[in-house]
């Protein structure tokens, strides 16, 4: 994917990023190729077959643990943006069942896939946590369903932690690969979903956190923010993001964006604002110095270096991967929350 295709896709996701920088030691010398590889490594943290298996099981987990029995066809796209749209339309009510309160008869049970019905069924298998449920996870066939004959590759435990909080643990044959906590809070005018935990890919471990806040500021007006932090300790790479999509009556939605990637190959930041379908500018800094600018006008854009020399291809690849990492962050957040979507979504 080239940089020219990334910016329109980012706008299509209706997501913005803006970051507040923390005080850091002097950044390492800039290496565009190395920084691009760092950005790719951040994205690969969640590129695991187990997450694809979770995608298939998520809607059934949600239904069995007390969520809404929603047609899968209606669950495509960003769950965060669906919640935002419903609140703007005045269609959201605080759910009466909080995450963490499992229905009677479900706690302590294990569910497995039944090839005959193509759905999960409650089994007599043991091992599920007493205050949670276990769903077996299977190798996928490449088109979104378990391969036949079924091959178990792991399991997911969803454990209640009291009102509005659950712990999710995904295990394969080698151990825990993904573990995180989902907590929901808020009132009619503001909702917050927080996700924090760790992921293991190969021998690399990443600590991560997300915070998605939706706030109404007036009739048909509001903002959706997404904060993300990821620390890939083995590679000494950190990603910091924060996001704001502003919707105001009578005005075009505005995207405010920025993200910072820090590591052994330097510190790169991208920040700016633009109207959806309108104009704006993204400023690119490297080690605190102006490096480039991306000027947008509708679906068109222009990249210009801070000097008269054109940017090398490695720098364009880096920008592409950084913007793509931001997009992937929203996708990962929604996929992690999906198993309890009905419990936290208006």
71-85, 247-261, 276-290: least confidently modelled range: 71-85
pLDDT band at 52 (very low <50, low <70, confident <90, very high): confident
Beta bridge partners of 221: 218
The full set of domain ranges for the chain reads: 3-344
Residue 14, pLDDT above cutoff 50: no
Higher pLDDT, 88 or 282: 282
Beta bridge partners of 20: none
69-78, 80-89, 160-169, 234-243: least confidently modelled range: 69-78
What are the pLDDT digits (tens) for 177-202? 999 999 888 877 888 899 999 999 88
pLDDT of residue 342: 64
Q: What is the dihedral of CA 45, 47, 51, 52, to 10 degrees?
A: 180
Angstrom distance (rounded) from CA 318 to CA 336:
26
Higher pLDDT, 341 or 60: 60
pLDDT of residue 15: 34
pLDDT of residue 344: 59
pLDDT of residue 8: 37
Residue 100, pLDDT above cutoff 80: no
pLDDT of residue 51: 87
Residue 172, pLDDT above cutoff 90: yes
pLDDT band at 153 (very low <50, low <70, confident <90, very high): very high
pLDDT of residue 128: 94
pLDDT band at 85 (very low <50, low <70, confident <90, very high): confident
Residue 268, pLDDT above cutoff 80: yes
The SS3 of residue 318 is helix
The first and second tokens of residue 219, run together, are 């009739």
Angstrom distance (rounded) from CA 236 to CA 233:
5
Q: Are 181 and 196 in contact (CB under 8 A)?
A: yes
pLDDT band at 4 (very low <50, low <70, confident <90, very high): very low
pLDDT of residue 203: 80
Residue appearing with tokens 């959201």:
92
**Distance from the Cα of residue 42 to its chain's centroid:** 12
pLDDT of residue 25: 66
Angstrom distance (rounded) from CA 304 to CA 249:
34
Residue 213, pLDDT above cutoff 60: yes
CA quadruple 156, 339, 183, 200: dihedral sign: positive
8-17, 134-143, 186-195, 289-298: least confidently modelled range: 8-17
**What is the full DSSP assignment across 155-170?**
EEEEEE-STTEEEEEE
pLDDT band at 269 (very low <50, low <70, confident <90, very high): very high
Higher pLDDT, 4 or 69: 69
Angstrom distance (rounded) from CA 209 to CA 227:
8
Name which of 286, 171, 230, 172 is nearest 44 in CA terms: 230
Mean pLDDT of 69-92: 60
pLDDT of residue 67: 56
Question: How much of the chain, in percent, has pLDDT values that exceed 70?
Answer: 81
pLDDT band at 2 (very low <50, low <70, confident <90, very high): very low
The first and second tokens of residue 215, run together, are 């706030």
Residue 169, pLDDT above cutoff 90: yes
Name which of 326, 315, 126 is nearest 227 in CA terms: 326
Angstrom distance (rounded) from CA 312 to CA 92:
48
pLDDT of residue 156: 95
Angstrom distance (rounded) from CA 231 to CA 214:
25
The first and second tokens of residue 228, run together, are 């993300």
Higher pLDDT, 288 or 12: 288
- Whether residue 149 has a cis bond before it, omega within 30° of 0: yes
What are the pLDDT digits (tens) for 297-329? 876 777 788 877 778 888 888 887 886 676 688
Higher pLDDT, 310 or 86: 310
Please state, rounded to an integer, the average pLDDT across all residues of the chain: 81
């Amino acid at each position: 994917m080239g940089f020219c295709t990334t910016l329109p896709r980012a706008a299509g996701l209706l997501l913005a990023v803006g970051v507040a920088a923390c005080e850091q030691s002097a950044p390492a010398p800039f290496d565009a190729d190395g920084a691009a590889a760092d950005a790719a490594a951040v994205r690969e943290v969640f590129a695991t077959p187990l997450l694809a298996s979770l995608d298939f099981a998520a809607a059934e987990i949600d239904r069995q643990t007390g969520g809404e029995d929603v047609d899968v066809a209606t669950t495509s796209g960003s769950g965060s943006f669906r919640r935002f749209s419903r609140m703007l339309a005045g269609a959201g009510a605080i759910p009466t069942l909080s995450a963490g309160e499992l229905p009677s008869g479900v706690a302590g049970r294990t569910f497995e896939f039944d090839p005959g019905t193509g759905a999960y069924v409650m089994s007599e298998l043991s091992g599920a946590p007493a205050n949670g449920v276990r769903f077996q996870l299977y190798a996928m066939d490449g088109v979104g369903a378990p391969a036949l004959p079924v091959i178990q590759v792991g399991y997911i435990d969803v454990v209640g932690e009291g009102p509005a909080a659950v712990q999710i643990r995904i295990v394969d044959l080698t151990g825990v690969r993904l573990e995180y906590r989902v907590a929901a809070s808020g009132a009619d005018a503001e909702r917050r979903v927080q996700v924090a935990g760790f992921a293991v890919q190969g021998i690399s471990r990443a600590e991560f956190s997300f915070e998605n806040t939706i706030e109404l500021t007036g009739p048909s007006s509001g903002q959706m923010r997404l904060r993300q932090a990821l620390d890939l300790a083995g590679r000494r790479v950190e990603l910091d993001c924060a996001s704001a999509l502003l919707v105001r009556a009578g005005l075009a939605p505005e995207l405010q964006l920025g993200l910072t990637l820090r590591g052994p190959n330097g510190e790169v930041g991208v920040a700016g604002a633009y109207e959806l379908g309108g104009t704006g500018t993204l400023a690119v800094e490297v080690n605190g110095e102006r490096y480039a600018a991306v000027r947008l006008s509708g679906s068109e854009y222009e990249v210009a270096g801070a000097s008269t020399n054109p940017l090398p291809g490695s720098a364009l690849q880096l920008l592409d991967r950084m913007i793509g990492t931001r997009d992937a962050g929203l996708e990962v957040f929604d996929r992690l929350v999906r198993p309890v979507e009905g419990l936290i979504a208006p």
